Chains A and B, each alone.
Chain A
Amino acid sequence: MPTPSVLMGAVAYDPKVVTIWEGFRAWLRGRGLDFDFVLYSHYERQVEDLVAGRIDAAWNSPLAWLRAERLAAANGTTVRALTMRDTDQDLTSIVVVRADSSVRQIADLAGRVVAVGAVDSPQATLIPLGHLAAAGVKADVRRFDVGVGLHGDHIGGERDAARALVAGEVDAACMIDANHLAFVQEGTLPPEGTRIVAQTAPYDHCNMTVRAPESAGVQLFGTLLLGMSYADPQVRPLLDLEGLTAWKDGRATGYDALAGAVDASGFYSPDGRVTATDYRP
């Protein structure tokens, strides 16, 4: 019987991606899985290659997951979220104003300038704008397009939005909850200089997307990922780099808010084509 194998795609949003997956590759190969990975410069080609069967698994952003679902459905196939990080579950995005702002609640943002991240950032653009729209707030959106095609993995757009807020160039800025704390801790935002005026409902972030039915290699991949222990000194530094303490079973229940925002903004068509007019990854 041949050794089960998996070829996984990952997007090279940061040099650490190479360190992480080379480390995981050695660990997985040591446990009977012939694992390798290919790097993509953006998520769109990675998703197309997954659905076309050129790779077996894709370490996907939430937006890439939605597109994979749509492309697969249009193709008469299905994809599944094999695993996700513990830190991918139940995240929120927030809308922040300066502490001395007259904006007290979400409705006050109507007509104000709201800074968001890159056009394709689920957490800093699509989900929070969907949240504002659901509240009936029509704001003047100012976008900070950094790392377009990386689906918001690059923190630059969010940070630029936060800086614009501090500089008084915008009235509010959207960001993922974790980056608000990070920006305060790194000094981008003054500790008591901002106020949170809106928080979205919890949603999920990345997942390891695979085609169904799963091959023996993919099944073994899922089992091995779930078996990675934070107590294992070989993988712990890699888990720290990847930002998790444990892999969880994948779930597809945390993407409704993003799907609604994608439809409302016309980012992808229902059959998975890229329809956003100003999106060039």
Chain B
Amino acid sequence: MSTAPVAEVDLGGLGFGRGAHLLVQRALAGLPPGGRLAVSGRDPALRVHLAVWCRRRGHRVEWPDRGDRSDLVAVVVRGSADDERWFGAERAGPALPSALSSRPPARWGLGARGALLEAGGPEARFDLDDRDLVWADIAPHLYTQAAARQWDPQTAVPWDDSFALPADVEAAVVQVMTYLVENEQAALVVPARFVGRIHPHFREVVQLLAVQMADEARHMEVFSRRALLRGAELGTSSAGGRQSLFTLVAESDFALASFLLSVLGEGSFVDLLSFLHEFAPDPVTRRICWLAMQDERRHVVFGMAHLEHQAQLDPLLRDRLRAAIHRRHDALVDTAGLNADVFDSLVVLAAGGWRPDDVSAGYDRVQALQHAMDQGRQRRLVRLGFLPDEAAALSALHTRNFM
């Protein structure tokens, strides 16, 4: 076997303190183990540092007679450690979400989907690792749309518009805002509990839920800010309302939580926000309800998409969804449901005045809102495969707290 170098690299004046290893590494990459690389260069410490670097990387160094080549420093004989590091390496599935693994292994862990993974490393426990349970084909599209439609609470809302409401109308707005903030808090916490459990292989779902959480964070901000725009105190929070939200947060099954939150809760919330957009007494309230409604619609679309997909594959899913509604209803049967202050505030806003006819009209409008919420829930339940009669019965069991 010839001992003549088969490759050469000239480092010029570049030393190992400034990245010379990159050139040596690049030249060695083209050689098989045992391949020889002549290294030349002018950095005064090159002889010392090249030997150190090679020793660490498992390459051998020879110091040949320089002959007439005054800049020749050494010949590096490529070792095998670089190759051995990648022995048994595997791709973490496809880079694009077109052919996802139905159950990605725990060893892929936090490796980027499609990356070449060095063997070894921790077995990361992401227990939501079933494609059918987590994935929806619409997730990448919804994520792109969600990321593009993020809005800045500071500039998207006309905070400085001059308006003045009668004190009792302002109080009604503050009460509704107080209620919205506590609901948005729950809507942030619920996906937060699942994001860390979803296998990163399904990263678009994780991204989508992360943006969903960012949406809720903005909603919390703008509703709080509106509540305090003209005063210093928030409204009331009922024990029953908090109990209702707590049953949402306590649900540990991803499908059931997303059913209760997105399909039933946020679905009803879209109707509520639309109602508030219509009857808002001031431009700030009108704007923030419209902005939040756009976001919530997206949340409902994803919740529906992944449950529809799952319902097609798993005929028993509907039994579990039905049981979840009953369970939550039973847990809340002894509670008051919607905070009476919130209900009254909605009537005040929809009434737009204090004459008996105004109040009566406002009352009718809130009843129409509740009817619309019920109809919406029934439509979504039917899309998930429930028969119309049962959908009506199940919708009637939904929490009176809306979310």
Do A and B associate with each other?
yes
CB <8 Å contact, A181 and B44:
no
Q: CB-CB < 8 A to A77: which residues of B? A: none
Q: How far is the CB of B95 from chain A (nearest CB, A)?
A: 23
Q: CB-CB < 8 A to B18: which residues of A? A: 191
CB <8 Å contact, B58 and A178:
no
Which of B15, B51, B85, B121 lies in contact with A230, CB distance below 8 A?
B85
Given the contacts A192-B17, A229-B84, A181 and B53 also touching, CB distance less than 8 Å: yes
Complex formed: what's the CA distance from A185 to B85 in Å?
Answer: 24
Complex formed: what's the CA distance from A92 to B63 in Å?
Answer: 15
Chain A residue, CB-CB nearest to B107: A233
Contact with A along B38-60 (1 / 0, CB 8 A): 00000011001101110111100
Q: CB-CB < 8 A to B80: which residues of A? A: 230
Whether A266 sits at the interface, judged by CB under 8 Å, is no
Which of B15, B16, B48 lies in contact with A199, CB distance below 8 A?
B48
Whether B368 sits at the interface, judged by CB under 8 Å, is no
Given the contacts A86-B58, A177-B51, A181-B53, A236 and B85 also touching, CB distance less than 8 Å: yes
Complex formed: what's the CA distance from A58 to B137 in Å?
Answer: 59
Complex formed: what's the CA distance from A167 to B17 in Å?
Answer: 20
Complex formed: what's the CA distance from A237 to B120 in Å?
Answer: 8
Whether B87 sits at the interface, judged by CB under 8 Å, is yes
Within 8 A of B (CB), among A166-195: 177-178, 180-181, 184-185, 191-192, 195
CB <8 Å contact, A180 and B48:
yes
CB <8 Å contact, A94 and B17:
no
CB <8 Å contact, B79 and A245:
yes
Whether B356 sits at the interface, judged by CB under 8 Å, is no
Which of A90, A92, A230, A236 lies in contact with B48, CB distance below 8 A?
A92
Q: CB-CB < 8 A to B16: which residues of A? A: 181, 184-185
Whether A246 sits at the interface, judged by CB under 8 Å, is yes
Complex formed: what's the CA distance from A42 to B32 in Å?
Answer: 43
Whether A78 sits at the interface, judged by CB under 8 Å, is no
Q: How far is the CB of B24 from chain A (nearest CB, A)?
A: 13
CB <8 Å contact, A180 and B49:
yes
CB <8 Å contact, B88 and A233:
yes
Q: How far is the CB of B263 from chain A (nearest CB, A)?
A: 44
Which of B52, B84, B87, B121 lies in contact with A181, CB distance below 8 A?
B52
Within 8 A of B (CB), among A221-270: 229-231, 233-234, 236-237, 243, 245-246
Q: CB-CB < 8 A to B330: which residues of A? A: none
Contact with B along A31-43 (1 / 0, CB 8 A): 0000000000000
Chain A residue, CB-CB nearest to B81: A245
Complex formed: what's the CA distance from A181 to B15 in Å?
Answer: 10
Q: How far is the CB of B188 from chain A (nearest CB, A)?
A: 38
Given the contacts A191-B15, A195-B44, A196-B45, A231 and B56 also touching, CB distance less than 8 Å: no
Whether B118 sits at the interface, judged by CB under 8 Å, is yes
Complex formed: what's the CA distance from A86 to B119 in Å?
Answer: 23
Q: CB-CB < 8 A to A191: which residues of B? A: 15, 17-18
Whether A219 sits at the interface, judged by CB under 8 Å, is no
The SS class assigned to the A binding surface is mixed
Chain B residue, CB-CB nearest to A94: B48
Which of A178, A229, A230, A246 lies in contact with B52, CB distance below 8 A?
A178
Contact with A along B56-87 (1 / 0, CB 8 A): 11100000000000000000000111001101
Q: CB-CB < 8 A to A243: which residues of B? A: 56
Q: CB-CB < 8 A to A184: which residues of B? A: 16-17, 45
Within 8 A of A (CB), among B71-130: 79-81, 84-85, 87-88, 118-121
Q: CB-CB < 8 A to B88: which residues of A? A: 231, 233
Q: Which residue of B49, B79, B88 has the most chain A CB atoms within 10 A of its CB atom? A: B49
Q: CB-CB < 8 A to B120: which residues of A? A: 233-234, 236-237
CB <8 Å contact, B55 and A231:
no
CB <8 Å contact, B45 and A185:
no
Complex formed: what's the CA distance from A90 to B80 in Å?
Answer: 19
Chain A residue, CB-CB nearest to B43: A192
Q: CB-CB < 8 A to B58: which residues of A? A: 86, 230, 245-246
Q: How far is the CB of A91 from chain B (nearest CB, A)?
A: 8
Complex formed: what's the CA distance from A231 to B84 in Å?
Answer: 4
CB <8 Å contact, A181 and B49:
yes
Complex formed: what's the CA distance from A230 to B58 in Å?
Answer: 10
Q: How far is the CB of A159 from chain B (nearest CB, A)?
A: 16
Which of A178, A231, A234 lies in contact with B87, CB distance below 8 A?
A231
Chain B residue, CB-CB nearest to A99: B44
Chain B residue, CB-CB nearest to A195: B44
Within 8 A of A (CB), among B1-52: 15-18, 44-45, 48-49, 51-52
CB <8 Å contact, A87 and B56:
yes
Complex formed: what's the CA distance from A34 to B57 in Å?
Answer: 31
Complex formed: what's the CA distance from A180 to B53 in Å?
Answer: 11
Q: CB-CB < 8 A to B85: which residues of A? A: 230-231, 236
Q: How far is the CB of A15 from chain B (nearest CB, A)?
A: 19
Q: CB-CB < 8 A to A234: which residues of B? A: 120
Q: How far is the CB of A36 from chain B (nearest CB, A)?
A: 24
Q: How far is the CB of A222 from chain B (nearest CB, A)?
A: 20
10 contacts between A and B (CB under 8 A): A180-B49, A185-B17, A191-B18, A196-B45, A229-B84, A231-B84, A233-B121, A236-B120, A237-B120, A245-B79
Q: Which 5 residue pairs across A and B have the least CB separation, nearest first?
A: A233-B120, A245-B58, A233-B119, A184-B17, A231-B84
Chain A residues in the interface with B (C-beta under 8 A): 86-87, 90-92, 94, 177-178, 180-181, 184-185, 191-192, 195-196, 199, 229-231, 233-234, 236-237, 243, 245-246
- Having A177-B51, A178-B52, A181-B16, one finds 11 other A-B pairs with CB under 8 Å, namely A86-B58, A87-B56, A90-B55, A180-B49, A181-B53, A184-B16, A191-B15, A231-B87, A233-B120, A243-B56, A245-B79
